[in-house]
Structure 1
Amino acid sequence: MSETSDAPEAPGAAGPPAPPAHPGVGRTVGRMVLALALGVALGALGTATHRTLWHGLPVGLLVALALTASTALLCRAWAGLGTLAAAAVGWLVAVQVLSMQGPGGDVLVTHPAESIPSAWAGIAWTYGGVLLFGVVAFLPGRWFARR
């Protein structure tokens, strides 16, 4: 005969834990706003530093593109394609706004037509970042699935 007790169970000893609740709309919007801000910050940082050379090597461009790829992966893994798209929009807006000619005629992103030796870095930065966001968007969803 098994012995049963009519005493109430301890508050923390109730069965297996409940599965995590689906994030609400407010949490999703909050994540998208944060991803947008991260994209803007990274686009501005990369635009300001992509032409940095160290002993003739394009270290600034490589670091900026590596940070862009890691941001894209982070946002996709964090909350899916919505946050990835928000980060991409923020990145693209920041890069395009900062690529325009300033009031004094200065530009942060040069073009090959301007015959500046580092003009190729501007093309690599603008198109490379867009390409990285696109590649991360088409990675298999199972790579980002929670187990």
Structure 2
Amino acid sequence: MQRLSAGATGTVVAALLLGAVVGTLGTVMHRSIEPWGVVVCLALAFVAAVTARAWAGLVALAGYAVGLVVSVQVLSQSGPGGDVLVPDDQGIGWVWVLGSIVVTIVAGVLPGRLFDDRPRAPRPHPVSADADGPDAAP
């Protein structure tokens, strides 16, 4: 478990800001070029989630998720003039809202060894039986 230090807190805050930026960009741009806008925005959300997890583990991913979900939910509400960025009657909006949560969860359940920077020990090579060995048939 990671200790709560100034560096760890700063990392979580930076991941939260990253989530807010990705959520804002995705909410604004997901309807730009249907259906490719939402595909690109979901890919951005997934890559940013993997980056946050690789950066500082699940704690940073949680900060990223909070920033993403809060920004998407705030921007999905009706604006002061009645305009909306994510209309209720369009399925592509639901794909963005729910898809951004799903890709963040997928980044969270990826195996931890994908994010481990330590070098691995070399694998032992299997011993092959050659014809000149003691077990060779005459």
Q: Which band: TM-score by shorter chain?
A: 0.7 to 0.9
Return the alpha-carbon distance in structure 2 between the equivalents of residues 98 and 62 of structure 1. 19
Return the alpha-carbon distance in structure 1 between the equivalents of residues 4 and 28 of structure 2. 36
Match in the other structure for 2:17: 37
TM-score (norm 1): 0.76
Q: Which runs of 5+ in 1 are unaligned?
A: 1-21, 113-118
TM-score (norm 2): 0.81
Match in the other structure for 1:13: none
Return the alpha-carbon distance in structure 1 between the equivalents of residues 111 and 53 of structure 2. 11
Measured against aligned partners, the alpha-carbon deviations of 1:79-124 in whole angstroms (never above 9, x if no partner) come to 0000001001000000000000011110000112xxxxxx111000
The count of aligned residue pairs is 117
Return the alpha-carbon distance in structure 2 between the equivalents of residues 140 and 124 of structure 1. 25
Match in the other structure for 1:116: none
Per-residue deviation at 1:25?
Answer: 1.0
The two structures, once aligned, show a CA RMSD in angstroms of 1.5
Q: Which amino acid aligns with 1:126?
A: V
Match in the other structure for 1:26: 6
Percent identity, please. 46
Is the aligned partner of 1:103 residue 2:59?
A: no
From 78, 99, 117, give the equivalent of 1:128: 99
Dislocated runs of 4+, deviation >4 Å:
none
Q: Which runs of 5+ in 2 are unaligned?
A: 119-138
Q: Which amino acid aligns with 1:39?
A: G
Match in the other structure for 1:69: 46
Measured against aligned partners, the alpha-carbon deviations of 1:102-147 in whole angstroms (never above 9, x if no partner) come to 11110000112xxxxxx11100000000001111111111111121
Return the alpha-carbon distance in structure 2 between the equivalents of residues 120 and 63 of structure 1. 16
Return the alpha-carbon distance in structure 2 between the equivalents of residues 130 and 24 of structure 1. 26
Q: Which amino acid aligns with 1:93?
A: V
Return the alpha-carbon distance in structure 1 between the equivalents of residues 3 and 40 of structure 2. 33
